[in-house]
């Protein structure tokens, strides 16, 4: 739905992403926030969420993880035969976003505040995800 909105009404899509976390914006979020969210996820859920994301995109994100955990995830993602149904991938990505929103809420922060920080840093580039 969000993808269609981006094409049909980019202004509304931008307004939505500033209040509801979007997985494709993960590389714009502060590293500490991403690390906090990923610490709440199990390895299988992270692998499902990052299925189809190119290595050059996920590597900087995985740098927020402890090295051993990052290597385990990379190994699983690159294993022959590792495949994830689109519905599982989408569910894992949505779970990431919901956890991100929960972390923010527990800190008394909002997505709007995160985007204000992102805008201030001038880092508003989104991932180009497969799937």
Domains of the chain in start order, with CATH, are: 2-121 (1.10.220.30)
Classify 41 as helix, strand or coil. coil
Average pLDDT, the chain: 86
Does the pLDDT of residue 108 top 60, yes or no?
yes
Tokens of 101: 């929103």
Task: Calculate mean pLDDT across residues 111-118.
Answer: 90
Phi, psi of 71 (to 5 degrees): -65, -40
Tokens of 110: 């909002």
Task: Calculate mean pLDDT across residues 29-36.
Answer: 90
pLDDT of residue 5: 65
| H runs (alpha helix) in 1-131 | 2-8, 10-17, 31-39, 43-50, 55-62, 67-78, 86-106, 111-121
Q: Which residue has the higher pLDDT, 95 or 119?
A: 95
pTM value?
0.81
- Nearest one of 11, 28, 24 to 114, comparing CA atoms: 28
């Amino acid at each position: 739905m969000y993808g269609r909105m981006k094409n049909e009404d980019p202004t509304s899509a931008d307004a939505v992403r500033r209040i509801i976390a979007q997985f494709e914006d993960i590389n714009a979020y502060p590293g500490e926030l991403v690390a906090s969210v990923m610490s709440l996820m199990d390895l299988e859920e992270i692998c499902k969420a990052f299925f189809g994301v190119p290595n050059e995109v996920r590597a900087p994100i995985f740098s927020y993880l402890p090295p051993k955990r990052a290597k385990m995830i990379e190994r699983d993602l690159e294993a022959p035969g590792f495949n994830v149904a689109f519905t599982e991938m989408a569910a894992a990505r949505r779970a990431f976003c919901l956890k991100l929103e929960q972390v923010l809420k527990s800190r008394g922060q909002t997505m709007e505040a995160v985007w204000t920080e992102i805008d201030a840093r001038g880092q508003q580039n989104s991932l180009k995800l497969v799937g």
